[in-house]
Structures are given as C-alpha cells and as structure tokens.
Amino acid sequence: MADSSVSYKCPNCGAPLSFLPGKKTVTCEYCSTEFEVSAIEELFRDKQDMAVHAAEAQEAKWETENAGSEWSGDEAAALHAFTCSSCGAELVCDENTMATECVYCGNPTMIPKRFDGMLKPDFVIPFKKTKEDAVAALKEFYKGHMLLPSNFTANNRVEAIQPMYVPFWLFDSKITARAEFRAQKIRKHSHGDEIITETSHYNCRRSGTMSFEKIPVDGSKKMADDYMESIEPFDYSELTTFSAAYLTGYLADKYDVSAEESAPRADKRVEASAIDVLQSTVEGFDTCSLKSSAIRKDVGKVEYAMVPVWILTTRYDDKPYTFMMNGQTGKVVGSLPYDKTKAFLYPAICSVILIPILYFVILALIY
Amino acid sequence: MMLKKFIGLLTLMIVLSFSAVSAAQLQPVTDDLGLLGAEELKSINQKIKSMEQTHGIKIGIWFTKMKNNTDMITASNNFLDQNFAKSKNGSIVLIVDMNLRKYEMATNSLMLQKITDTDGIPFLKGEFQPALHNGDYYGAANSFVDGVDKLVSYYEKNGQPYGSAPDGIDFAALGGAIIVALLCGLGIRSWLIGSMSNIHHASEATDYLQKNSVNINENRDTYLFKNVTRTKKSSNSSSRGGGGSHGGGGHGGGGGSF
Ligand SMILES: [Zn+2]
Ligand SMILES: [Zn+2]
C-alpha cells in the first residue's frame, strides 16, 4: 500500500495541488480556494487509510462451514425426497407426509428419489398459521385496492394452497464500519443589497463497531428473492432448535443456493444500515453525503433455518397469481392485477377535477 | 331706489342663507387657499355634480394647509365620513395639503369595491399627480375627477374593478393548470398501480441491528474550505396594500407627495 508519491488534489475542484514546504496554507491555482495544509494532509492520510480498510473488508468472509449439520442415519432414513418431473424442484418430507403435487408448478407427478445432499437445519420457526388463516388473509389482502378488477374476487380461482418450509440462511455479523462524509454548513446573511452565502465544507470521519443478528436470506432459487424479503420480519423469539418432527405434514424445500452465494445479499444490507448508523452521528450540518466507506466483518456467522411460508396460487384470466404468507406472522405479500380502464379513468377524473382548481390557484399566484 | 336696496338685501340674505346651507352641506370642491379661480371652481363643481348624478357616487376635493403633525389618513377618512358618506354607490375624497405638499385619497367600503387600493388608487395617482406637481391645481382636480369617472364606468361595464383578473380565459394559466393536472394524474396513476403490490426488495438490515451494540470510536470533523457566493437581493419593495387597510373602518385609499 506504500504510495510514496502522494498526489494531492484540490477537495473543491479536483485539480492537482502543489504546495511549498514550510507554508501553512495553500491556494488552489484553478479555483482559488484556500486550504490549511494540515487539513489537506489529514484528508489524504484518511483516504489512504480507507483504501487499506477497504482491501481488508474485501477479504473478510463469512464462516459458512458451520451452518447446518449432518443428519444422523435414523433421521435421514425417515426423510423422503421428491423431484418434480416438470420444473425440477426438489422437495423433502418425512415418512408420514406425501408430496402429491409440486408446490411451485402444480405438476402432480412427483418422482421419489433417495434423500441426500441436504444439511440438517440448525433452527426452525414452526408453522403457526393454518390453511383457513391463509385463505382468510388472502381475502383480506384483496380489500382496499381501488384498481382491482371488479370481477377479480368472484372469478379468481384459488388453485393451490400449500405450506412449505423454506430454507433460509441467517447471517450474524459483528462489523467495524468506517466512512467518510462530506458535510456542509451554510450560513446566509445580508450585507447592503447583497445576500452572502458562506458554505463551509468539512470532511467527517466516523468509525464504529456494531452487530447484526440473523439477517434472513432465502436459499431457494425457486422462491423469488423479493417475495422472501417482503414477508419479513419474523419473530425470532419463537425460533427453536430443528427437529424432523416439525416437518410432519409439511413439505420442505431443499436449499439450492449455498450460504456463500447468499452472503452478498446480507452484506449489501449490512453495509447500507451501517452507513446509516454512522451518518446519523454526523450532526450539526446542513447537508451530508457519503464519500467512501469500508465495512469489515470481524465475526461473520451463518446458521441454517427452516421458515414457514404459505404459498397461494390463484388463476385469473388464465394467468397465475402467486401470493405468499408468512406462516408465523400471517403477513401476506403479492402483486394483484389491475383494471386498465380503472387505471386510466380514476387518475383522469382527478386530473379533470384538478384543472379548474389549479387554474384559479395559478391566477391567484399571478395577480 | 328703496326697491333696489331691498332686492339687494334680499339677494344678500338669500346668498347668506345659501352659504349657511352650503356650510352644512359642503360643495364637492373646497378650496381654502384660493388656488382655483371662481370660474374654475364653478365648472369643476358642476362637473362633479353631474357625475354624481350619473353614477350615484360622491366625490370630495379639499385644497388646504394642514398642521404639521396631521395624520393624513385619518384626516381624509374623517373628511369623507363627515361630508360625503351618504352615497348610493360609494364615495371618494382627495385632500391636497399645500403645507407639506402631500395628498391623500380615501374611499368608503362601497367605493373600495370599484377603486381598489392595489390598482385603482395607483391609477388615479398617475392621472393627477403630474398636474399637481406642475402647480396646475384645476387640471389636477379635473384629472382626478375624470379618473374616478373612468374607474367607476369600468366597474359598471365589467362588474369588477379595474386591475382585477380579466373575465376571459387566461390561456397561459389554463395551459399550466392542464400540465400540472396531467402530471398529478400520472402521479396518482403510478401510486395506484404501485399500491397493487407490496413486493419490495429489502435494502437494509436495520431490523436486525442490535441497537446496544453500536459503539462509535472515531468521530472527527475536519474543516476543509469555505465558498462564498454573493447574490443581489431582488428589489421587491413595492408596497401593494391590501384592500380596506386605509386606517380601518372599511376605508380604502392611498397618498403620496408632489
Ligand atoms: Zn481547486
Ligand atoms: Zn414443479
């Protein structure tokens, strides 16, 4: 990292700054802004420091090898696996449960196969919501949407309601976050017939440590990431040590996205939140923007959990609509179709009503 | 001879009694300083009286010398209320103070609807102020009266005072209203369509942050530099008084120097 020929740049305009030894201040030749030499030196020391930390941060990895565990022989023997002949989904259930049709595509031909290649989850959040709860919650979800086609509720057929344990990686991390912010203090005062605006620029450096616990990232390719992020949050107080007994009566999806592959999704969220935390400590300024950041994982632990989800598939106008319900909290997520006529008509009515109002508002502002 | 004397006496008495009446009921123009000739005074009074007939209004003009610390607004309001208040369609007065070379107009609430402080009064100032400045007091009185005639006629014709928004459609404002309404419509549309889905990617992990684990160990603000910009203040100093602010009591008006 030894960068001996430090090239100082003007923080205001980016032009190269050259300064004479022994002088306390330096003036940019291009934008004529004056700086304290010490401030410029500090700024560039910080910049190099940040580069070192950014490199470190890149190297820090999650300890994924401890996520999940091996099944004992008895446990494995009691589990069955099925493959969907149509979409290739692999589902797992215990010996008392039959996989009759694919949760994802509705295909009724599920081919039994030998159970293997799946870690034993560390935790499970048991199902709390029943099928009746799911149906009622979906009905409730339809309400209050102005653009819903009038015949949607009547004509939409619920094709399948399936409960499923979805594999999730739960990321725990303790991080050291560093960030540089550019902040401004703006002072305005009038002098004679002029308004003088003084904008003072500051470089604000922050670093700190913080911990995140159990950021959930689903390990299923077939489950859309945005749906799985939308059914959050879960109540972790009900998180219990996994036992195959919880699978009775339910299907479980086998993870097909490894913890390593899922980690970037957790990293991105941690980074955004860590920067938010640091930025919230930049106080007393009028503006503040992020200049650079480096987030280093000091501890990065991953656990493997099964999370309950109700998958509701409906059909309307020959198109399938999928809704998901958090099997613990009952939160329903999904996208409803909208009536094109209503989507045109309602805003058009609003616009037509607004025209005379706005006309008189504009007249009142002119005269 | 006796008859002539008698007739003369009678005339005198009639003139005296008339002037007694006129003291109670002031002529439209009061000229304390003899700035107008007798003929001029007669002609302007006649002109005002005929106009008062046509419009059902009252107009008063007073050329005088005020004491130094007179409040011209109160003086003009009182002059109106005491002498010219009884009118069908409104009253207006103009006081010209030759002492400080100031003038003040006052309107009552009825006239305020026809001659607004924001547009009517400035219009009148423009009509008579040049003549006043040039010492042409007869011309100034005439211009004032003509100006009032114009403004009141304008009101009678258009149903609203001079200077207010015209009755016709302002196409620029209408165009602006349509554009803003369309944008609002598009905004409402995308909001309504957006409300059909609650599927969103999670961008942060704040729910999973252990609040008590946050430990800030570096907190350093370094001053870098300062930018200074200077902008001229916009010269928005014109005082457009709202209607009826002329010392209260539903009066309007305004004044100036000449
Ligand atoms: Zn510069
Ligand atoms: Zn399938």
Q: How far is A94 from chain B (nearest CA, A)?
A: 32
Mean pLDDT over each residue of chain B, to the nearest integer: 82
pLDDT score recorded for residue A174: 93
- Average pLDDT of the segment spanning A80-101: 82
A–B CB contacts, 8 A cutoff, strictly below:
215
What would the mean pLDDT of B182-191 be, rounded to a whole number? 95
* CA atoms of A288 and A286, how far apart (whole Å): 7
Q: Do A230 and B210 touch (CB under 8 A)?
A: no
Contact flag B200-A174 (C-beta cutoff 8 Å): no
CB burial of A300-311 (b: ≥16 within 10 Å; e: otherwise) equals bbbbbbbbbbbb
B216: closest chain A residue by CA: A208
Whether B190 shows a pLDDT value over 60: the answer reads yes
Residue corresponding to tokens 């470089």: A203
Per-residue pLDDT tens over the stretch A168-180:
999 999 999 999 9
Report the alpha-carbon distance of residue B162 to residue B148 in Å, rounded: 11
Q: What is the pLDDT of residue A29?
A: 86
CB contact under 8 A, B177 and A346: no
Q: Which ligand sits closest to the CA of A222?
A: 2
In chain B, the DSSP E strands lie at 29-31, 58-64, 91-97, 102-107, 215-232, 252-257
- Is there a contact between A148 and B184 if contact means CB atoms under 8 Å apart? no
Domains and CATH numbers, chain B: 29-68+90-97+104-164+237-258 (3.10.310.50)
Domain ranges of chain A: 1-59, 64-173+207-271+299-336, 340-367
The Cα of B166 is separated from the nearest Cα of chain A by a number of Å equal to 10
Where do we find the tokens 């002059």?
B79
Q: Mutate one of A262, A273, A344 to test the B interface: name it (highest B CB count within 10 A).
A: A273
> To probe the interface with B, which of A289, A316, A362 has the most B CB atoms within 10 Å?
A362
Residues of B with Cβ-Cβ distance to A341 under 8 angstroms: none
Contact criterion met (CB < 8 Å) for B217 and A207: yes
Give the pLDDT of residue B23.
Answer: 46
Q: Which residue has the tokens 């602010």?
A: B245
Report the b/e string of B17-50 with b at 16+ CB within 10 A: eeeeeeeeeebbbbbeeebbeeebbeebbebbee
Token pair for residue A100? Answer: 């009759």
Question: B206: nearest CA in chain A?
Answer: A273
Distance CA A15, CA A7 (A): 10
Lowest mean pLDDT across A23-32, B108-117, B156-165, B221-230: B156-165
Cα of B248 to nearest chain A Cα, Å: 24
Among candidates A36, A196, A272 on the partner chain, residue whose Cβ is nearest the Cβ of B204: A272
CA of A30 from ligand 1 middle (Å) equals: 5
CB contact under 8 A, A145 and B185: no
Q: A184 CA to middle of ligand 1, Å?
A: 17
Q: How near does any CA of chain B get to the CA of A81, in Å?
A: 30
B215/A208 CB distance under 8 A: yes
pLDDT at B7: 55
- The pTM (predicted TM-score) of the whole model is 0.66
Give residue A17 CA to ligand 1 midpoint distance, Å. Answer: 8
Nearest CA in chain B to A189: B230
For residues A319 and A125, the answer to whether their CB atoms sit within 8 Å is no
Determine whether the interchain pair B205/A174 forms a contact, defined as Cβ–Cβ distance below 8 Å: no
Q: Do A251 and A91 touch, CB atoms closer than 8 A?
A: yes
Contact B177 A199 (CB under 8 A): no
pLDDT at B24 over 90: no
Cα–Cα distance, B171 to B178 (Å, whole number): 10
| For range A233-255, the mean pLDDT | 90
- Contact criterion met (CB < 8 Å) for B227 and A199: yes
Roughly how many angstroms between the first and final C-alpha of chain B, as a whole number? 53
Q: If contacts are CB pairs under 8 Å, which of residues 1-40 in chain A contact chain B?
A: 11-12, 33-36, 39
Tokens of B176: 């602006």
Q: Closest-lying ligand to the alpha carbon of A9?
A: 1
Q: What is the pLDDT of residues A321-336, one digit of tens each?
A: 999 999 999 999 999 9
Token pair 């939409």 is at which residue?
A156
The rounded percent of chain B whose pLDDT value lies above 70 is: 82
Residue A164 and residue A251 in contact, taking contact as beta carbons nearer than 8 Å: yes
Query: Mean pLDDT lowest for which of A115-119, A261-265, A276-280, B42-46?
Result: A115-119
Burial A321-339 (b: 16+ CB within 10 A, else e): bbbbbbbbbbbbbbebbbb
Give the integer Cα–Cα distance in Å for A75 and A363: 78
Q: Checking DSSP bridges between strand A251-253 and strand A157-191, what pairing results, if any? A: parallel
Q: Is A48 helix (H, G, I), strand (E, B) or coil?
A: helix
Residues in A touching B161 (Cβ below 8 Å): none
Contact assignment for B227 to A276 by CB distance below 8 Å: no
Half-sphere CA count of A242, side-chain side, radius 13 A: 24
pLDDT band at A365 (very low <50, low <70, confident <90, very high): confident
Q: Which ligand has its closest atom nearest to the C-alpha of A160?
A: 2
Query: pLDDT tens, A204-216?
Result: 999 999 999 999 9
Which A positions 227-266 lie with beta carbon below 8 A of chain B? Answer: 227, 229-230, 232-233, 266
The predicted pLDDT at position B132 comes to 87
**Is A226–B176 a contact, with Cβ atoms under 8 angstroms apart?**
no
Does the distance separating the beta carbons of B184 and A363 come in below 8 Å? no
Least confident stretch, B15-19, B73-77, B81-85:
B15-19
Chain A nearest-CA residue for B205: A269
Residue of B nearest to A214 (CA): B208
- The ligand minimizing its distance to the Cα of A31 is 1
| 3-state percent helix, strand, coil for chain B, nearest multiple of 5 | 50, 20, 35
Nearest to B170 among A200, A206, A363 (CB): A363
Say which DSSP state A329 is in: T
Average pLDDT over residues A12-16: 88
Residue from B67, B68, B70, B117 nearest B92 by CA: B117
